[in-house]
Amino acid sequence: MLWQTTRFTIDLAQPRVMGIVNLTPDSFSDGGACYQPGGGIAAALRHCEQLLHDGADMLDLGAESSRPGALPLPLEEEVARLLPVLQAALKLGVPVSVDTYKPQVMQIALDAGADIINDIWALRQPGAMPVIACHPNCGVCLMHMHRNPQTMQSAPMAGDAVPQVALFLQQQADALKNLGIATKRICIDPGIGFGKTVAQNFALLARQSELLALGYPLLVGWSRKSSLAAAINPSLANAAALDPKERMVPSVAAAVLAAERGARVLRVHDVRDTVQVLKIWQAMQNTAIA
C-alpha cells in the first residue's frame, strides 16, 4: 500500500511513525515544549531533528491545540506559529504533514511545499475540499471528530461508534474522489479521543478491520490519550488528571496493538520508544513469515 504526497510516495508495507510537533503553548500533552513567542523556531527545529534521530518517518506540525475545550486560534496567529517552522522542516528530507482545518492555512502550507494536510474536521470547513482538489498530488488525512473541540467530551457519541465512524470516513473519502482526488492520496483516522467514550475508543482499536475494509491506509493517534489512563486505573475520577507524560508505556502498547491490527501510520509523541517496540514486533513478524 502506498500513500501519495506532495514530494514522496510513502511505502506503507510496514507501519510508519509520524512524530508530533506541537507549536502551541496549550496542547494537552506537551504544550509549550516547542512554542516560542515572537516567532522563534529553534526549539521546534531541535525537536523535529530529535524525532528524526529517534526514528520518525515523517513529521506532523500543528499550531492550534485540539485538546478538549480548546478555543479556535485566529488565522494570523496560526500562520505565524506554523510557517517558519514548516519552511525549516521541509529541508529535513522527510514528509511533513500540517495539522490544520482552516482552508487558508492549508493553502499557505501547500504553497510552501507541505506534503500532507491532516484535518481533524475531515475537510468539512467551507472551502477545504477545493484546496485539496486543486493540488496535483498532496496527501490528505481525514479524521472523524464528534461535535467540536469545545463540546466533544462534554457530549460524546452514543451507541456503537465503529459503524458510525466508518460511514463518516467513507462519505468524506467519496466526496474527495468525486472531486478527482486519487484514492492513493487519501488516509483515514478514526479520531481516538475526539468525542468518544473510553469504551468506544477501545472498540475502534479492537475492530480496526471494519475501518480497513474501506480500502484506505489507517492513521491512528493513541499517544498519551486519557482513555489509556482510564484503562490503567478505572477508579481514577478524572483520567485526564494523570500527567500525559506518564502515559508513555500504554501509548506504545496501544500503537503496536494498532499496528498489529493493520494501522499503517502511528502518530506519536514518544518516537524512540515506539520505534524500538515496533522493531521487536517486526522481528517476530519476519520470523513467522520465514
Cα(117)–Cα(110) distance, rounded to whole angstroms?
A: 8
Q: How many CB atoms lie within 10 A of CB 46?
A: 11
CA distance 226 to 66: 14
Cα–Cα dist 126/153, whole Å: 24
Spot the catalytic one: 102, 225, 264, 272. 225
Instruction: Read off the amino acid at residue 21.
Output: V
Q: One-letter amino acid identity for 70? A: A
- For residues 223 and 180, give the distance between their C-alpha atoms in angstroms, rounded to a whole number: 33
**Does 225 participate in catalysis according to the annotation?**
yes
- Phi-psi region at 53: left, alpha or beta (left = phi > 0; alpha = psi -120 to 50): alpha
Q: Which residue is catalytic, options 16, 102, 196, 267?
A: 267
227 within 8 A of 195, measured Cβ to Cβ: no
Judge whether 16 counts as a catalytic residue: no
Q: Which residues are the active-site residues? A: 225, 267
